[in-house]
């Protein structure tokens, strides 16, 4: 029960860079066996993305970028233009439950593995295909890179200090979202296969993934006719909700998502919750600058830790802005299994971000956690090739 809910599912991962590998890692985190197929010699592009690299002076450097998105996988190198290696891939496909690919549209077909061929080789195969801007349409053939997609899909126009300061999100969020949507689609297709006995092709793109999380900014335009824009660290539809300065150069984040929370905040700091222009959320949004000035004046003599304590005591949701190292040292992060130890072939024991899902089996005595407990390190290039070939011949 601790191997994961996808124990027994075989995934063949032809992807590289981030969107596809992230989908593969998500499936591996859930217990699937993921065989990563890489180019001989160089492997996945991200093996060369850095710095930072670990132990570059020893000639077997490892990219921390690659390590971030390839745990719980095996690696085999195949030249897909070689008849011998194509035969190995063919046998893997026959045995697979899932195939992942993020080539530019049409590339896999040119290599001899179009959807018709895949269906003939394995009618139960679920294929996930991730592209930059979609597999069809007037710009379906465009190459997809995260920051370009963030800009084209509108996300950068919503991120930054203001309309004239478009900013990328600090992680490749378009890639990550495409991987997440892709894994979600794979699971749905596997479930449908239980009813129909047949697999299918799941397609998504960086464009679709980013548009898929437009949320209220999307309907603000499609229904309300209003184009959203970047406005820094304050919410466009809720006030107060954002980052506020306090004493000694500190800052806190707080959210008043309801009128009762606004009244609690005002009571704690002796402010008039019913003041003209501030009594309702709509009024406060229209007077956001006034709200910010009012609160920062009230917070001016209070340091961040004291302010957080007072907000907590008052029942107002609040938090600090942590650096990455602080996040991984935080007891709450550790309690959620978000840091795991793995044994890497060249690096020894290393710590990696853990999977974000946990599973529990209810019982009369409570519940027992059934989350996958043992994780494997991202593979050295081609490390499992001989074992995989022997297994295919068995």
Residues tagged active-site: 175
Count of Cβ atoms closer than 10 Å to residue 41 Cβ:
9
Q: Apex CA 10: angle with CA 197 and CA 63, to 5°?
A: 145
Which is nearest to 217 in space by CA: 305, 156, 145? Answer: 156
Cis ω for the linkage preceding 258 (within 30 of 0): no
Q: Are strands 33-38 and 339-344 parallel, antiparallel or unpaired?
A: unpaired
361 near 367, Cβ under 8 Å? yes
Q: Are strands 62-63 and 74-77 parallel, antiparallel or unpaired?
A: unpaired
Q: What distance in Å separates the CA atoms of residue 9 and residue 95, rounded to the nearest whole number?
A: 10
Determine the Cα–Cα distance for residues 186 and 8; give it in Å rounded to an integer: 15
Q: By the 8 A CB rule, do 50 and 28 touch? A: no
Reference 316, options 364, 271, 363, 254; nearest CA is: 254
Contacts 24+ apart (CB under 8 A), 271-279: 271/298
Between CA 25 and CA 71 the distance in angstroms is 6
> Which of 255-269 are b and which e, b meaning 16 or more Cβ less than 10 Å from the residue's Cβ?
bbeeeebbebbbeeb
């Amino acid at each position: 029960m601790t191997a994961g809910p996808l124990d027994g599912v075989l995934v063949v991962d032809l992807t590289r860079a981030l969107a596809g590998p992230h989908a593969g890692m998500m499936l591996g985190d859930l217990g699937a066996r993921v065989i990563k197929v890489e180019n001989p010699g160089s492997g996945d592009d991200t093996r060369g993305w850095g710095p930072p690299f670990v132990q570059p002076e020893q000639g077997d450097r490892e990219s921390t970028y690659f390590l971030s998105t390839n745990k719980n996988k095996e690696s085999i190198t195949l030249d897909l233009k070689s008849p011998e290696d194509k035969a190995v891939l063919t046998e893997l496909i026959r045995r697979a439950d899932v195939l992942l690919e993020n080539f530019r549209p049409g590339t896999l077909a040119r290599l001899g593995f179009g959807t018709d061929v895949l269906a003939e080789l394995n009618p139960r195969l679920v294929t996930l295909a991730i592209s930059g801007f979609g597999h069809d349409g007037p710009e379906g053939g465009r190459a997809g890179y995260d920051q370009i997609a963030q800009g084209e899909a509108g996300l950068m126009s919503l991120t930054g200090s203001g309309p004239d300061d478009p900013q990328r999100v600090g992680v490749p969020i378009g890639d990550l979202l495409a991987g997440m949507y892709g894994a979600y689609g794979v699971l749905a297709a596997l479930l449908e296969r239980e009813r129909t006995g047949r697999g299918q092709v799941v397609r998504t793109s960086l464009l679709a993934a980013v548009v898929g999380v437009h949320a209220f900014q999307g309907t603000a335009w499609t229904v309300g006719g209003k184009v959203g824009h970047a406005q820094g660290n304050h919410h466009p539809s809720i006030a107060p909700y954002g980052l506020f300065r306090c004493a000694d150069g500190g800052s806190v984040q707080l959210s008043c998502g309801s009128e009762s929370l606004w009244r609690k905040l005002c009571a704690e700091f002796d402010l008039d919750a019913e003041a003209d222009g501030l009594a309702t959320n709509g009024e406060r949004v229209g007077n956001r600058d006034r709200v910010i000035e009012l609160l920062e004046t009230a917070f001016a003599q209070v340091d961040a830790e004291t302010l957080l304590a007072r907000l907590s005591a008052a029942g107002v949701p609040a938090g600090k802005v942590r650096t990455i190292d602080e996040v991984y040292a935080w007891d709450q992060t550790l309690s959620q299994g978000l840091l795991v130890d793995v044994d890497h072939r060249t690096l020894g024991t290393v710590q990696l971000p853990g999977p974000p899902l946990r599973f529990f089996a209810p019982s009369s005595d409570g519940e027992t956690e059934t989350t996958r407990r043992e994780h494997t390190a991202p593979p050295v290039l081609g490390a499992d090739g001989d074992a995989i070939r022997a297994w295919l011949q068995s």
